Chains A and B, each alone.
Chain A
């Protein structure tokens, strides 16, 4: 029933570890996104994939590597975790339009709260 789901919901780990966050959407959308929300609630886009192809890559450290095995899934792998990576990570999805210049609404997952100790 859930439209955009993320696992895990909470992630507590030590500095230097590698961790992954998974995202799945059952809306039939072909575009997926990762956003980071910092401790001041500021939301910023990190990556976007359209049909498994990377289309947005903001200035994110290369310790962050998104992977899209199919258009319904977009996972985020983080290597060598640092204290500053502590944040809430949101996955979102939307439906891209064929050359129409329109934007479809992005629907967000529940978020994954990452705490790096």
Chain B
């Protein structure tokens, strides 16, 4: 069975600090996808990034960067120079590929979420 663990339940930092959110996953699939979603206080779920199991290149998008290491089954997320607007719950998710009627689709398993609070 698939499993995603976000060991940090809550993290509190001061603005401009760098912060890394950890994500470790378990799967027996060779093809899978990893995601990060952000849930701000307003409650919606905002997609941040998708990475497939064959692409271990790290990615940077502005102040956000992601480090995917298949050898340790980790997909960590770093926010550089954090800002108050980064305060949110962040979810890491793993997707297993399912097939039905000739098409493939994903079934997401979410981690428990990490509550990030950035203080001014």
- Interface residues of chain A, those whose CB is within 8 Å of chain B, are 30-31, 33, 35, 40-45, 48, 50-51, 53, 55-56, 88, 90, 92, 94, 96-111, 113
Check if B102 is an interface residue, CB within 8 A of chain A.
yes
Beta-carbon contacts under 8 Å, B84-120 to A: 89, 91, 95, 97-110, 112-113, 115
B5-32 near A? 1/0 per residue, CB < 8 Å: 0000000000000000000000000011
Q: B102: which A residues are within 8 A, CB to CB?
A: 98-99
Cα of A48 to Cα of B103 in the assembled complex, Å: 13
Determine whether the beta carbon of B105 is less than 8 Å from that of A50: yes
Question: A53: nearest residue on chain B (CB-CB)?
Answer: B101
Chain B residues, CB < 8 A from A43: 91, 110, 113
Distance from B6 Cβ to chain A, minimum over Cβ atoms (Å): 11
The contact size tier of chain B is 20 to 34
Out of B44, B45, B103, B109, name the residue touching A97 (CB < 8 Å). Answer: B103
Residues in A neighbouring B95, C-beta threshold 8 A? 103
Q: Is the CB of A101 within 8 A of B97?
A: yes
Task: Report which residue of B52, B100, B102 has the largest number of chain A beta carbons within 10 angstroms of its beta carbon.
Answer: B100
Q: Which of B24-77 contact A (CB under 8 A)?
A: 31-33, 35, 37, 39, 43-45, 47, 50, 52
Report the Cα distance A98→B97, complex, angstroms. 12
User: In this complex, what residue of B is CB-closest to A42?
Assistant: B112
Kindly report which residue of chain A lies nearest to residue B100, judged by CB atoms. A55
B residues less than 8 Å from A109 (CB atoms) = 44
- Min distance, Cβ B9 to any Cβ of chain A, angstroms: 10
B97: which A residues are within 8 A, CB to CB? 101-103
Chain A's nearest CB lies how many Å from the CB of B95? Answer: 5
- CB-defined A-B contacts under 8 Å, sample of 16: A42-B113, A44-B110, A45-B108, A48-B107, A50-B100, A55-B105, A94-B105, A96-B105, A99-B102, A99-B104, A102-B52, A102-B104, A103-B32, A103-B105, A105-B50, A108-B47
The winner among B101, B102, B106, B112 for most chain A CB atoms within 10 A is B106
